[in-house]
Amino acid sequence: MNGRGAYLCRDSACLMRAAKNGALQRALKTPVPEDIVPSLLKMLEQEDEKNRDEDESRGQ
């Protein structure tokens, strides 16, 4: 379905809880395939790594 979206905190534990207890499906109002959760976790990790690299390049 187009136009569905939900905000999540940038914490992998938060994402796992939301997926496990059905909060993610309720927020999106559509079933969420189990195989999407590892992809979302990987995206979070990549974003964290990118942010760390940017902070290091700025000397923070």
* pLDDT tens by residue, 1-56: 566 788 878 888 999 999 999 998 999 888 989 899 999 999 989 988 888 888 88
User: Does residue 3 lie in a domain region?
Assistant: no
pLDDT of residue 20: 92
User: Does residue 22 lie in a domain region?
Assistant: yes
CA angle 36–39–13, rounded 5-degree value:
90
pLDDT of residue 60: 65
User: Does residue 23 lie in a domain region?
Assistant: yes
pLDDT, one tens digit per residue, over 23-38 is 989 998 889 898 999 9
User: Does residue 31 lie in a domain region?
Assistant: yes
Q: Decide if 38 contacts 48 (C-beta within 8 A).
A: no
User: Does residue 43 lie in a domain region?
Assistant: yes
Domain that holds residue 43: 12-57
pLDDT of residue 11: 87
User: Does residue 40 lie in a domain region?
Assistant: yes
Q: Decide if 37 contacts 15 (C-beta within 8 A).
A: yes
Q: Decide if 8 contacts 41 (C-beta within 8 A).
A: no
- Domains identified in the chain, total number: 1
pLDDT of residue 2: 65
Quick one: which of 45, 2, 39, 3 has its CA closest to 19? 39
User: Does residue 6 lie in a domain region?
Assistant: no
Q: Decide if 10 contacts 44 (C-beta within 8 A).
A: yes
